[in-house]
Amino acid sequence: MSSIASAQIDGQVFFYPPNTPRIIPGEGILIEPSSTNLVLESQGAFSNATYWTNTGAGLTVTDNTVASPDSSNTASTLAWATGSTATLSQSITLGATDVYVDSIWLKGAVGGEIVNLIVYDSTGTVQISSTPLTLTSSWARYDNIAWNGTSAHAVLFELSNGASAQTVYCWGAQREAHFTIPSSYIPTTTTTATRSVEYISPPSYMVNPAIGSISFDAKLLTLPGGNTISLFFFNSPNGLEAFWDGNTTVSVWSYGVGNIGTMSGLTADLAWHHYGFSWIQNGTNATISSYFDRVLKTTQTTATTLTSGTIQIGVSGNGTGFGAAANSMFGYIKNVKISTDLLAGL
């Protein structure tokens, strides 16, 4: 499932061992694409001048002073003196033509404190975005779009004082590419850290290439837009793949043939939907049927021979999603059913 994985449940952050499903109460299993936290020393080391720059006078940074959202004592205290305009920042070079999102957990000592989450270019003079935040005395995760430019550039991740003398607490700084909302937190030290692409893979003995079916409920956390979002992959030489192909269609492919069916007239949204797929081999032909919210959308007989393999839910072939891990699913999965026969009620 994952190499570095966390989840926030009822306001608390939990970390999970590798290959452990993150079951979120009231939702399902959380599935995320691969992502890298580009912020260095993302917790418990905001006073480390090698990575974080404290500019100006009147800002005192003290690490490991307060219980953090994961219940460890790794949150840092930022105390601004009256009249201080000091900032705390880290410069991170971003690639061209991609979107980046910043996120960080903050809380105030008493509530009502104001902090600005600001993005400047590397000169510190051109402001790309600014988000003023009014804090409460409870931990909350805040985010801000960091960059959606046209060239590679060094861009600051910066916290600045938004009021007079105040004390705030911070933890879990993160900047990541490809997303407009933050994915789950990936802690770092002196180097970046990456969460591997995630998917659900039932045991191979559950998959019958001659006849079978799969169904599951999925809720997306991001929309496809002009991209694809993978739903499932039957991993065999002539396997099957289904993916959102933009915001109105789900395409079904066979590696031996190409596109063998399109579920059109759909609307991608952030709600739960039920997906079903079935296959039956007849000589050198296979009949593939696809269902959306239990309504049959396509049935196609094509000249392909399905062979033994595994099923991966939430990701495309070889774990990359048509060549880009960002095309893997970002959302929740539940109610997975696999049959070596044709399931009723797909």
Return the CATH number at 92: 2.60.120.260
In a domain, 184, yes or no: yes
Structure tokens at 172: 């879990």
**Tens of pLDDT along 120-164?**
766 666 777 777 899 999 999 999 887 666 566 667 788 888 767
pLDDT band at residue 227 under the 50/70/90 scheme: confident
227 and 164 share a domain?
no
In a domain, 29, yes or no: no
Higher local confidence (pLDDT), 256 or 205: 205
pLDDT score recorded for residue 271: 96
- Among 195, 217, 236, the domain-final residue is 195
Residue 307 sits in a domain whose CATH number is: 2.60.120.200
pLDDT score recorded for residue 326: 40
Query: For residue 324, is pLDDT > 60?
Result: no
143 and 253 share a domain?
no
184 and 230 share a domain?
no
122 and 188 share a domain?
yes
**For 222, left (φ over 0), alpha (ψ -120 to 50), or beta?**
beta
**Tens of pLDDT along 12-51?**
999 998 888 999 999 999 999 889 999 999 999 999 999 9
> How many structural domains is the chain composed of?
2
Higher local confidence (pLDDT), 297 or 124: 297
Average pLDDT over residues 68-97: 89
5-16 as b/e, with b when 16 or more CB fall inside 10 Å?
bbbbeeeebeeb
What whole-number distance in Å separates Cα of residue 42 and Cα of residue 39? 6
pLDDT score recorded for residue 177: 86
What whole-number distance in Å separates Cα of residue 280 and Cα of residue 339? 12
In a domain, 237, yes or no: yes
- Among 195, 229, 262, the domain-final residue is 195
In a domain, 161, yes or no: yes
Phi first, then psi, for residue 89 (nearest 5°) are -145, 165
In a domain, 84, yes or no: yes
Higher local confidence (pLDDT), 186 or 311: 186
In a domain, 15, yes or no: no
139 and 70 share a domain?
yes
Higher local confidence (pLDDT), 305 or 37: 37
pLDDT band at residue 184 under the 50/70/90 scheme: very high
231 and 186 share a domain?
no
Query: For residue 323, is pLDDT > 60?
Result: no
Which residue segment(s) compose the domain that 125 sits in? Answer: 35-195
pLDDT score recorded for residue 246: 81
264 and 176 share a domain?
no
- Beta carbons within 8 Å of 97's beta carbon, 6+ residues apart: 149, 150
What whole-number distance in Å separates Cα of residue 234 and Cα of residue 254? 9
Higher local confidence (pLDDT), 327 or 63: 63
Structure tokens at 287: 């009949």
- Among 195, 212, 240, the domain-final residue is 195
**For 311, left (φ over 0), alpha (ψ -120 to 50), or beta?**
beta
Higher local confidence (pLDDT), 180 or 289: 289
In a domain, 21, yes or no: no
Average pLDDT over residues 228-253: 84
pLDDT score recorded for residue 80: 94
317 and 251 share a domain?
yes
pLDDT band at residue 237 under the 50/70/90 scheme: confident
116 and 263 share a domain?
no
115 and 248 share a domain?
no
Average pLDDT over residues 240-258: 84
Query: For residue 2, is pLDDT > 60?
Result: no
Which of 102-116, 178-192, 242-256, 288-302 comes out lowest in average pLDDT?
Answer: 242-256
In a domain, 345, yes or no: no
Angle at 218 between CA 208 and CA 212, to 5 degrees: 15
pTM of the model: 0.89
Average pLDDT over residues 48-70: 94
Which of 153-162, 211-220, 276-285 comes out lowest in average pLDDT?
Answer: 153-162
Task: Please name which of 273, 274, 303 lies closest in space to residue 288, comparing C-alpha atoms.
Answer: 303
106 and 233 share a domain?
no
Contact 135, 111 (CB under 8 A): yes
121 and 44 share a domain?
yes
pLDDT score recorded for residue 83: 87
